Amino acid sequence: MDLSKLVVEDAARGSFRVHRSAMISEEICALERERIFDRCWLYVGHDSEIPKPGDFRRRTVAERPLVLIRGRDGRVRVFYNTCPHRGAMVARQDKGNADTLTCFYHGWSFNSQGELIAVPEQAGYSTQFSKADHALGTPPHVDSYRGMHFVNFSIDAPSLADWLGEAKTIMDLSLDAADVLGGWEIIRGSAKYDIRANWKLMAENSVDGYHLPTVHQTYLSYIAQRHKMAGAARINTNAVYKASRSFAIANGHGGITVGMPGRPIASPSPFWTEEAIAEVGRIRERLLERFGAERGAEMADNSRLMIIFPNLAFQDTHSGFRFRQWWPKGPGLMEINQWELVPREENEEIHAYRQELSLAFLGPGGFATPDDVEALESCQTGFKAREFEWSDVSRGMHRQPQQSDDEIQMRSFWRQWHAMLQGHARAAHFDDPATPVAALAEERK
Ligand code: FES
Ligand code: FE
């Protein structure tokens, strides 16, 4: 297979195509495992999930069983969930609090710092046997960014800060915004479901502004109906569109910002009581005061949806703030994990509204998720027409700035995917090259 021809772009013609074997080939899926998932920084979990010493969460990351645990010393660590003795998993529950993790097979015990502290019948081992040589293993690189913990299984990984790069600026808008309300915490529970589609379709879908008016028609009319019942003005979709943009960031990240009113963090919704609207107005003022008029307004009024390459969506929107992660289980099947975050000190009414909207839109039984699942599975079925080889991801290549229904964020993803699949660390360029708009206009005459 000629990997170099899987993504083909032609800036002069404004064309960007992805070969559909990328979504159906077993061979590509195996290469992705080795060249992408074994080399990228991958999200494991959030600080707020393990607030107390001994708290742990079991996670599967790039097929490895892991444990995220807060030690007695307060430090968060990530261990391989496999006993150094003969392999059994030392954490057998998805979450819990434990002073020690005791392997159920032969009873070796480890403390929350991963040290082996007890071996039944230790006299059976030679005098050279040292507990210090049999601590729990840890991935080659573990690091965190503002409460978000990541791992990287590659020895020669770039630093996490380097990898996230400019994405940090976008993340900071959401992370700083909640600081005035005690910071974000993940609420109990998570959503977990499978989709019969290739994982990269979820990367695209998580930052796709183009499908909103078509796939999510039912949701949009539900919201319009609610506005009407509340006696509120209709949402000016034109104004929302004008205040929205797509963006691309180095290393395959990218997303959209949407100027949508009614964000729980600091833009009042017409459905709230006067008291809640006043409270949110006060929060907005605090943001403007603390972070300046421009950045404060950006935090308060704009939604941001971003993918962190390869498999994390960071979505701070009018329907709540969530992390969504997807894992390939073969070329035509993926698993989704989704967590909701709320500001610790948020007003109860707004808190309830946030959760209600999130469930209504992105819960597995909400308005959006089943429609998105249907769309993605439909694409995957379409790919079975294997003689039809190409998908088009060229929308907006000829214009700057990019509109929110353009696809520059997906091109950033695909360029990085293509570079890594061929064994490179980074795409040669993540942005659209300066497109000869004038030349295109000439051509169209
Ligand atoms: Fe864990 Fe033997 S495999 S104690
Ligand atoms: Fe959608």
Rounded to 5 degrees, what angle do the CA atoms 186, 187, 192 make?
90
Q: Which long-range contacts (CB under 8 A, 24 or more apart) does 73-76 make?
A: 73/113, 75/113, 76/47, 76/50, 76/144, 76/149
Residue 297: in which H helix or E strand, if any? helix 293-301
* Residue 138: C-alpha distances to residues 42, 80, 97, 142, 329 (Å): 14, 6, 19, 8, 24
The residue ranges of DSSP E strands in 236-392, in sequence order, are 245-248, 254-258, 303-308, 312-317, 320-328, 334-343, 390-392
174: β partners: none
Residue whose CA is at the smallest distance from ligand 1 atom 3: 86
Residue whose CA is at the smallest distance from ligand 1 atom 4: 106
206: β partners: none
For 433, which DSSP code? P
Identify the three-state secondary structure at position 415. Answer: helix
Q: What is the mean pLDDT of each run of 10 residues along the chain (445 residues)?
A: 95 93 98 98 98 98 98 97 98 96 98 98 97 98 98 97 98 95 91 96 96 90 84 78 90 93 82 88 95 95 96 93 97 97 92 86 83 97 97 92 92 98 95 64 57
45: β partners: 149
Ligand 1 pocket residue status of 134, Cβ below 6 Å: no
Ligand 1 pocket residue status of 136, Cβ below 6 Å: no
Q: Is 270 exposed, middle or buried (0-12, 13-18, 19+ CB in 10 A)?
A: middle
Ligand 1 pocket residue status of 72, Cβ below 6 Å: no
Residue 62: in which H helix or E strand, if any? none
Domain boundaries, the chain: 43-152, 165-421
- Nearest ligand 1 atom, CA 103: 1
Distance 122 CA to ligand 1 centre (A): 13
Q: Which ligand is nearest to the CA of 85?
A: 1
Q: How far apart are CA 154 and CA 156, in angstroms?
A: 6
The CATH number assigned to the domain with range 165-421 reads 3.90.380.10
Residue 235: in which H helix or E strand, if any? none
Ligand 1 pocket residue status of 108, Cβ below 6 Å: yes
- Whether 43-152 and 165-421 share one fold: the answer is no
Q: Which long-range contacts (CB under 8 A, 24 or more apart) does 56-60 make?
A: 56/91, 56/95, 56/96, 56/97, 56/98, 56/101, 56/112, 57/94, 57/95, 58/91, 58/93, 58/94, 58/95, 60/327
The 15-19 sheet, strands edge to edge: 7-10, 15-19, 390-392
Domain 43-152 class, CATH top level: mainly beta
Q: HSE, CB side, 13 Å, CA atoms: give it for residue 22.
A: 23
| pLDDT at residue number 102 | 98
pTM of the model: 0.95
Q: How far apart are CA 192 and CA 186, in angstroms?
A: 15
